[in-house]
Amino acid sequence: MQGVLITIASAVILAIVAAFAAPFVVDWTAWRGAFESQASRTLGVPVVIRGHIYADILPTPRIILRNVSIGADAVSTGAVADEVRADLSLGALVRGSVEAKSLTLVRPRMRVVLDSAGRVALPTGAAAPGGLSISSLAIEGGTLDVLDRGADRSLAFTGLDLKGEARTLTGPFRLEGEVALAGRHYGTRLSLGAFGADGSRMRLIAEERARPLTIDLDGTLRLEGGAPRFEGRGSLIRRPDGVPGGPPPANVGAQPGSTPPGSGQEAWHESWRLSGALRAGPEAVVAETLDLSLADTARPVQLAGSARLALGRTPSLEVVLNARALDADVLRTPAGAAPQSAAESLAALMAAFDALPAPDVPARIGVAVEQLTYAGTVLRDARLDLSGADGGWRIDAAEAKLPGPSALRLSGAPGRAGGAGFTGDLAFSSEDPAAFLRWVAPRGTADVAAAVSGPVKLVGRITAGAGRYGVQDLDASFGAATVSGSGQFTDGDRPRLDLSLAVDGLDLDPLLEALHQGLALAGGAVDGGLALEGRHLKAGGLPLGALSLAAEGAGGTWTLSRLTLDNLAGLHLEGKGSLTRLAAPLQGRLDFSMAGAKADGLVPLARLVSGERAGEIMTRLLPVAAPVNIAGSASWGDGGAGAVRLDGTLGLLSGHAAFAPGAAGGVPRVDLTLSASDGARALEAAGLTGLRPGLGAGQLNLTLVPSGTDGADLDGRLALADTVASAKGSVKVAAGGVLQPRLAMRLDGADVAKLFLAAAPAAEGGPVPAALGFTVSRSGGAWQLEDLKGLLGGAPLSGALAIEGGDVPR
């Protein structure tokens, strides 16, 4: 220090002399060696000044040094500054100490080097520093590189603009300002106590400027064998935008009804706190007691656990979090928002998972909760294991015991390359799948849930997100039934549905209902491909031996290249056709042929093609409708009304039948040309009772042509047992579906008495021929036969007849 005083004194004398003799002659560069020597002695490390030196002695010593290097080489800890400015205390210098009123480092490029053992590599020639106190310290436009030789890794802090103080070169220190790391800017406050045998007390607070994240470290920093180590508490906090401690409010001009910052109604990922006791060194950062608090509400969700961040050549992060009980409903829906179903919130969760940024280092995170409240239901033994790398995050295992009781296990990763939110493996089982469906999606699944019964097991590889949902390698069982194959639905301007399934022992009705609901959501305008193979099935409550279906949809038209139903309650069907709309109302055409020893399968087919009324008619005809050998077609036009044409035989019946819808749901068009080998049985099955059995063959020709919106023109002829009945006229449908005919009829027969069982006594007296004409109409509840004229039993007959039904007919 004596050398410093001699140098300063000499400089003062020289300055005074120069002030009177030649003020501009003083060349401070000539004193470079002295400045370097004394600066090296003060700092305790070699100092080299390569640039100009400027100095003022009076009234206050002021020094400006250009291009200053601290440290003898570039491979150990040191710094290079473009400029060093210092205002020194003359009084302190006279007293034998160095005190800087202010010290400014301009564009310093600092480095801290850790050797292969994690020790700070001190500058070559380093010694104990002298006494230096800095009242005001500033760093302008600086950088700091932390070079870890052992890990072959570095951290580059840039944009250092800091202000503070340093009472001595060994502390305490205080710095506050701006720092950037990896392109992210932080407002930083650092205080460091004087280093002693037990280290130095340290507090570091860094607030990210672009996001409301705050890092807070409070503990002890010490050097053990030259290696830096920290022990204390640390926290990483995310505050809602606009809350004090975060970035400035960003919701100026927000729309009415938006969520105000700090209101406790933010989404769970907008407010959380991670804190714990930390131990950090060159090899790892360890948090043995870690607490995670989610959601800025009166009831935050809290988990506890531990974490370890390895810092060697292969850095990695491991986190384990646990909770005995956790209410996830606090996270699912902000206060005041509409409640979500379990399926809806799961979709939102998967979207959030897809949006997670890839971790900076390989990471593994495990979360376990014994009792998880989700969608108002307590789920048990919930567990989530995540792993992350450069390509993003992956769910190694997600499992829980769900309502039903059901069990779910899921694993996979975001499918960013394919545009899907998630791709992974799914395993699901449920003892009561209906209860599970009512919980996971209470809206819109009632019919499906009611139809699904028996234990369910399902495994497959699923894809979900970005408007694309699918399953591959599906292997499922529903009770004794099995389903395998694949399926995918892609949303968009033109949705696409692709299904390829093999089923065994399945009731097709729930599958058709689910397909119907899906098509209804898509509006029936969907492309894709369907391939379905099945055996030992059920359809409409009837056994179906085998099913084979193949169809392709493009440009809004579906081409059905193969439809085979084998042994639908004894019935075999082959068909093909095309549809321009799949959802109700259907549009398109189907050509088919049916054959079989039994006709029971016609009931669900009639109901499917033409509605419930057609199914009821077919049910009545079942006693006379087998065996079956029919070719026909079904077509659906605008409004979805179905037209049917049939040719062939149905048991006792043979001929041709055609049904076409009327306008606006009015009377349909009907064309019948039928013959029956046993006319009485056929008519009785159709609803005309009281006929005598064994009357022989019969024939019916009937044409019903719609007229107007509520009527039709009828022309019909029925021949049975040498008797012919004909009718021609009009039929209207009144309110409530009541028929109001106006028909001109004629009855001609050699013996009409033998037609009816009730006329048996009259038949004992001999034949009762008839040749009658009359009109039939209906008024109120009474049937009227008017203009009655002709012969009955050889006797002339004329007049009118009114018949009124009721408990006592009149």
Using one digit for the tens of pLDDT, what is the confidence trace for 179-198?
Answer: 999 899 999 999 999 888 88
pLDDT of residue 307 exceeding 60:
yes
What percentage of the chain reaches a pLDDT higher than 90?
41
CB atoms within 10 A of CB 219: 20
**Cis bond upstream, residue 172 (ω within 30):** yes
Q: Are 506 and 474 in contact (CB under 8 A)?
A: no
Give the tokens for residue 209: 């400027």
User: At which residue do the structure tokens 């959601």 appear?
Assistant: 295
Using one digit for the tens of pLDDT, what is the confidence trace for 575-586?
Answer: 999 988 776 677
Using one digit for the tens of pLDDT, what is the confidence trace for 138-168?
Answer: 999 999 999 998 888 889 999 999 999 988 8
Using one digit for the tens of pLDDT, what is the confidence trace for 380-409?
Answer: 999 999 999 888 888 899 999 998 899 999
Q: Rounded to whole angstroms, how far apart are CA atoms 436 and 374?
A: 13
Please provide residue 198's backbone torsions phi and psi, each rounded to the nearest 5 degrees: -95, 15
pLDDT of residue 525 exceeding 70:
yes
Using one digit for the tens of pLDDT, what is the confidence trace for 243-281?
Answer: 545 444 434 333 333 444 444 445 556 788 999 999 999
Q: Rounded to whole angstroms, how far apart are CA atoms 801 and 245?
A: 98
CB atoms within 10 A of CB 766: 11
pTM of the predicted model as reported, rounded to 2 decimal places: 0.65
pLDDT of residue 15 exceeding 50:
no
- Mean pLDDT score of the chain: 83
Q: Which three-class secondary structure state does DSSP give residue 168?
A: coil
CB atoms within 10 A of CB 717: 15
Q: Rounded to whole angstroms, how far apart are CA atoms 478 and 474?
A: 13
Alpha helices in 441-484 (DSSP H): 446-451
Q: Rounded to whole angstroms, how far apart are CA atoms 12 and 93?
A: 12
Sequence length of the chain is 810
User: At which residue do the structure tokens 């076409």 appear?
Assistant: 660
Report for 130-134, 480-484, 488-492: range of highest mean pLDDT:
480-484
Q: Rounded to whole angstroms, how far apart are CA atoms 618 and 646?
A: 13
Give, as one character, the DSSP assignment of residue 620: H
Q: Rounded to whole angstroms, how far apart are CA atoms 726 and 722?
A: 13
Using one digit for the tens of pLDDT, what is the confidence trace for 672-719?
Answer: 999 999 988 988 888 888 888 888 999 999 998 988 777 889 999 999
Q: Are 89 and 81 in contact (CB under 8 A)?
A: no
Mean pLDDT of 59-71: 89
| pLDDT at site 10 | 45
Angle between helices 32-43 and 2-20 (to 10 degrees): 150
pLDDT of residue 526 exceeding 90:
no
Close Cβ partners of 545 (under 8 Å, ≥ 6 residues apart): 535, 536, 537, 566, 567, 568
Q: Are 768 and 787 in contact (CB under 8 A)?
A: no
pLDDT of residue 444 exceeding 60:
no
User: What would the DSSP string read from start to end of 636-664?
Assistant: E-GGG-EEEEEEEEETTEEEEEEEE--GG
CA 331 vs CA 26, 191, 399: distances in Å: 73, 37, 19
Q: Rounded to whole angstroms, how far apart are CA atoms 299 and 329?
A: 11
Strand 272-280 to strand 284-294: parallel, antiparallel, or no bridges (unpaired)? antiparallel
